[in-house]
Structure 1
Amino acid sequence: MSTGGNAEGAGAGPAGAIAAAAATATAVPSTATRSAPGGAGRRGTVFGETMLGTVLLEREDRARRIRLDLRVAADRVMRPFGTTAARASGRVRVAGWADDTHAEGELEISPLARRRIRYRISFTAEGRRFMLDGWKSITPRRPVASLTVLPFTLYEDGTRAGRGTLRFPVATQLPPFLASFRFPRATGSAETLTAPRWQGEPGRTEVWYTTLTDPATGTGLWLHHELVAPADGSEPYAHGWAAVFPKDGPVRHARFGPAGWTPGAAGFRAAGVEAAPGRLTGSAGALRWDLAEQAADAPLFTFPGWSWRRPLLPAAQILPAARASYDGTFSYDGTTLTPTAAPGASARIYGHGNARRWAWLHADLGGGDVLEIVAAVSMRPGLRRLPPLVFLRLRRGTRTWPRRAERSAVGWAGLGRFRAAIGLPVWTVSGRAGLRRIRVEVTQPEDRTIALDYTDPDGSRAVCRNSERAGAHVLLERWWFGGWRTEAEWTLDGTAHAEVGTR
């Protein structure tokens, strides 16, 4: 058992409620279902862009090198004769001064209608927030230069802090830039994907949960909000908890609710606690929080996207934003944390209950890369003795691997499935898809883990052991000219978010 304590009550962990769907993840979606939430189905545009240049800061006499790596996403296909608004996220590096992997902002893409492409990117340097504001002025007299040169001004609180120029290096970056373009089917914004799914059916659970790491202290935070509709048809209720995982000291947690559920809220709202688009507020025992949430990436579907749009499986999970940043306050035991641009993510679950065994990982790998894993053994009779099914999604820049969410779980006709060895304090996942293979080793130290007892809508129980200060080692390799070569490798110490559940 965890030194963090063992609490009684109803609930579903970050992975537990969705993991029950693993045994039927290969089901074929029906067309006779209700429409997708959030207007899903429209095509969007996604691409990556890298620019290099120099910036001269105020009160300095020598320019510094600057590099901008962006992932740009629009909710519609770009219109060359119109104006397209897009979100941008990525990394800003200024030599000897800034390296922010959670930069974010917006683009106005209007090459013909307004003859400009404007960039407004916010980033952090030396604990202060800056805005990079500039635009490419499009002219037919200099088509290449006008599309590749970005003069900009840096601002801090509206005051000019520097000037510079970025350039798109055509010789080296044009091929990857063109290859990065995707036109995915829109899945809805982070705001629309936060809306409640429950339609009044008995035997359902719906979860909103958030995990993040305070960069200043290394403290991990976990906020869990849940709606439960008992299988016996009795009144639904809302409840949840908050937990804090200090770098030094024991894990603390407290519950709120149960309370009545009022339909119609934008997200979760009960017992004085709210999880709404862009805002998380509330209290539980001696724990209090008020956090602003800013999405920094597009939604990520751990399970197939259709399983969220059409609720055919026992459960489904999504991240309305694969990465997000958090600012605000979190208080406990006389200590007040003030997270600033804290990396993390919020996720959503809708389903029937927990799996027989499961493991979950959310890892912000830095540089805009993120890894999400659910591995589970089904509760279905006859399937309980099968190995865990693995759903693994690695997003790097504009691409998510494996390309289809089903690939890691079912392979090709059952061949090539990813494998998981679920245990504590260490569990692993490994597998291969295409020319890449991956091995993930997750460590949940006992003194950084909390154990919670859960009750499903049908009254059955499970135990979840969660750590918001877990460790993880991720090795990604690629087959190249007859051998495996390391493509990327990440090691996280105390910043991975992980969970193991059993019955």
Structure 2
Amino acid sequence: MGTKADGTAAAGAAAAATATPSVTAPSAPGGAGRRGTVFGETMLGTVRLDGEDHSRRVRLDLRVTADRVMRPLGTTAARASGRIRVAGWTDDARAEGELEISPLARRRIRYRISFTAGGRRFTLDGWKSVTPRRPLTSMTVLPFTLYEDGARAGGGTLRFPLATGLLPFLASFRFPRGTGSAEALTAPRWKGEPGRTEVWYTTLTDPATGAGLWLHHELTAPADGSEAYAHGWAAVFPEHGPVRHARFGPAEWTPGGAGFTADGVEAVPGRLTGSAGALRWDLTERAADAPLFTFPRWSWRRPLLPAAQILPAARASYDGTFSYGDTTLTPTSAPGASARIYGHGNARRWAWLHADLGGGDVLEIVAAVSMRPGLRRLPPLVFLRLRRGTRTWPRRVERSAAGWAGLGRFRAAVGLPTWTVSGRAGLRRIRVEVTQPEDRTLALDYTDPDGSPAVCRNSERADAHVLLERWWFGGWRTEAEWTLDGTAHAEVGTR
């Protein structure tokens, strides 16, 4: 994960682009303070692939995010992510793309959704042609064409099921207040104060090989007022073979810029490049979800607490290359996320989990024990954020850490090779069990701004089991259950 937030904080280009100009979707919903739009949509239909003499059934489930409240009289650009299922051909839970919503100004609602089938990348390109003569049909029927590398690969039609889909569609609409773009949240926070640390870190899983990747970029401003420096490391966790890692820096830190830039290493919006020892990487990053605040969002806007953590995009996909020794990985639409930390240093003891649960669902956990005197003997304070579709649970981030007046806090049992988190909020309860096998775990030393040491044990190929239950008519019933085998990202830190 990188430098962990001190527990004290708890107390307080697709092929079809040749047809028509592409839509540029925002990187995150809304600018700071401005409301955006989020909704879910399901469409059903058929597709006929070129070269086949029969049609296949299609189901498309999307989560759509716009950076402003939709304008019926104007044009709204939005980002879409979700799942596409084509009978006997593909089931891709990481489909992503963009929408142009312009029912009156341009009389169309255009969809461009990219997905993977049989290891090949396709784009679904189509639009609803809105007309006042057939308002219902034109708003619910989506003719589309499939493209692969600029060439037609098939065509079909999707329809919005009014009878079964209208109520869930209307109920899914949310107008969240904007948290700022991913680009703004990636910009450096440090203003020259001593005793600070700032981290940019990225974790992802290469779907072709099962390898986990970890890129850690850190700015450290020593507490004694000496010159700040930049450093970090990269690590690869192959499915077969030992974990490999190498460090870069320390190097001079140059203020300004869009993210981390030092010693030939960059972590800036949309791009990760650099080298460390025998490791080389060049990756592009595409945000697939809105920012997620693991700690209260005010603690990031106003750095009054010892530390805070955020994910500029709760989910992202990565393409490019990562080389180590004689091996070169070529991730394609690899799932992962990039996160940020700003604070005074590491917690006394901590655990961290990032789990892409598929279908647009994601779970982030930080459990930490504070370094402050008097709080060191308290159990770990837990920050847990489960995003499912358009909603994040618990509704308030403080709920898992503080409960109600200290009662009902979530609990963490931190250890190795297995650690757990459990808790209840409202009518739901959750239990998370994370396993970090020793042969898939890397131990690394940290140094806080005050010079004190810490050790983290990180695995980018951890296992996790997540059980979510809901109270229903007098008993607990399973609402969702996920099992991740070697695709969870986890860490345990100690002093």
Q: CA deviation at 1:143?
A: 2.1
In structure 2, the residue matched to 1:290 is: 282
Selected match of 1:147 from 118, 124, 139 = 139
Give the SS at the match of 1:17.
coil
Write out aligned runs for 1:240-259 (5 A): 240-259=232-251
2:336 aligned with 1:351:
no
Residue 4 of structure 2 is aligned to residue 17 of structure 1: yes
TM superposition shift of 1:173: 1.5
Corresponding residue to 1:362 among 346, 354, 366: 354
- Larger relative contact order (Cα-Cα within 8 Å, sequence gap ≥ 6): 1
- Cα drift, residue 39 of structure 1: 4.5
What is the distance in 1 between the residues matched to 2:442 and 2:58? 43
**Does structure 1 residue 263 correspond to structure 2 residue 248?**
no
Answer whether contact 1:17 1:205 (CA < 8 A) is retained: no
Residues 294-350 of structure 1: CA distance to partner in whole angstroms, max 9, x if unpaired?
111111111111111111111111111111111111111211111111111111111
CA distance 1:169–1:265, change in 2 (3 Å)? same
TM-score (structure 1 length as normaliser): 0.93
1:110 deviates by 1.0
Give the one of 105, 119, 124 matched to 1:127.
Answer: 119
Unaligned residue ranges in structure 1 (runs of 5+): 1-12, 28-37
Deviations for 1:459-502, whole angstroms, at most 9, x for unmatched residues? 11111100001000000111111111111111111110000001
Q: Distance in 2 between the 1:100 and 1:277 partners?
A: 26
Deviation digits for residues 83-117 of structure 1 (CA, Å, limit 9, x no counterpart): 11111111111111111111111111111111111
Q: Does 1:305 align with 2:297?
A: yes
Partner residue, 1:220: 212
- Cα distance in 2, alignment partners of residues 400 and 374 from structure 1: 16
Distance 2:239 2:4 in 1: 28
Structure 1 residue 319 corresponds to structure 2 residue 311: yes
Whether the 8 Å CA contact 2:31–2:67 is kept in 1: the answer is: no
Report what 1:33 is aligned to: none
CA positional deviation for 1:25: 3.1
> What CA distance in whole angstroms lies between the structure 2 residues aligned with 1:305 and 1:180?
23
Please state whether the residue corresponding to 2:94 is helix, strand or coil.
strand
Q: Which residue of 2 aligns with 1:418?
A: 410
Q: For the residues of structure 1 that align with 2:383 and 2:462, how far apart are their CA atoms?
A: 19
| The one of 35, 40, 63 aligned to 1:71 | 63
> Deviation per CA, 1:128-171, whole angstroms, max 9, x where unpaired?
11111111122222222221111111111221111111111111
2:423 to 407, 424, 431: 431
Contact 1:227 1:261 in 2 (8 A): yes
Aligned mates of 2:483, 2:4 — CA distance in 1: 28
Alignment of 1:1-12 (within 5 A): none
Find the aligned partners of 1:86 and 1:145 in 2 and give their Cα distance: 22
Q: How far apart, in 2, do the equivalents of 1:63 and 1:120 lie?
A: 21
1:44, distance to aligned residue in structure 2 (A): 0.6
Rounded to whole Å, the distance in 2 between the matches of 1:75 and 1:501 is 37
Question: Structure 2: how far apart are the matches of 1:199 and 1:301?
Answer: 22
Q: 5+ unaligned residues in a row in structure 2: which ranges?
A: 13-29
Equivalent residue for 1:5?
Answer: none
Matched, 1:181 2:173: yes
| 1:367 shift after superposition | 1.1
1:89·1:104 contact (CA, 8 Å) conserved in 2? Answer: yes
Percent identity for Structure 1 against Structure 2:
87
Question: What's the TM-score once normalised by structure 2's chain length?
Answer: 0.95
Query: CA shift at 1:26, angstroms?
Result: 4.8
- 2:324 aligned partner: 332
Distance in structure 1 (CA, Å) of the matches to 2:136 and 2:11: 48
Check the 8 A contact 1:17/1:352 in 2, yes or no. Answer: no
The aligned residue for residue 35 of structure 1 is: none
User: Are the aligned partners of 1:47 and 1:72 in contact in 2 as well (CA < 8 Å)?
Assistant: yes
In structure 2, what is the Cα distance between the partners aligned to 1:353 and 1:289? 27
Structure 1 residue 434, shift from structure 2 partner: 1.0
- Give CA-to-partner distance per residue, 1:282-303, whole Å, 9 cap, x none: 1100111111111111111111
Distance in 2 between residues matched to 1:51 and 1:472, nearest whole Å = 32
Q: Return the alpha-carbon distance in structure 2 between the equivalents of residues 131 and 495 of structure 1.
A: 26
Whether the aligned pair in 1 keeps the contact of 2:433 and 2:466 (CA below 8 Å) is: yes
CA 1:398–1:39 in 2, change beyond 3 Å: closer, same or farther?
closer
Conserved? CA contact 2:31–2:181, under 8 Å? no
Secondary structure of the equivalent of 1:313? coil
Deviations 1:184-222 (A, max 9, x none): 111122222111111111111110001111111111110
* Alpha-carbon distance in structure 2 between the residues aligned to 1:478 and 1:139: 44
Amino acid paired to 1:487: E
- The alignment yields a C-alpha RMSD, in angstroms, of 1.1
**1:4 alignment partner in structure 2:** none
Contact 2:195 2:344 in 1 (8 A): yes
Residue 315 of structure 2 aligns with an amino acid whose one-letter code is R
Counterparts of 1:40-119 in structure 2, within 5 Å, are 40-119=32-111
* Residue from 468, 474, 484 that aligns with 1:492: 484
The answer as to 2:286 corresponding to 1:273 is: no
For 1:164, give the aligned amino acid.
Answer: G
Aligned to 1:391: 383
Contact 1:206 / 1:227 at 8 angstroms: preserved in 2?
Answer: yes
Shift of 1:17: 2.8
Deviations 1:420-466 (A, max 9, x none): 00000000000011111100000001111111111100111111100
Q: Is residue 161 from structure 1 mapped to residue 153 from structure 2 by the alignment?
A: yes
**Matched position secondary structure for 1:217:** coil
Corresponding letter in the other structure for 2:88: G
What is the total number of aligned residue pairs between the two structures?
478
* 1:418–1:429 contact (8 Å) kept in structure 2: yes
- Tell me the equivalent position of 2:202: 210
Partner of 1:472, secondary structure, is: strand
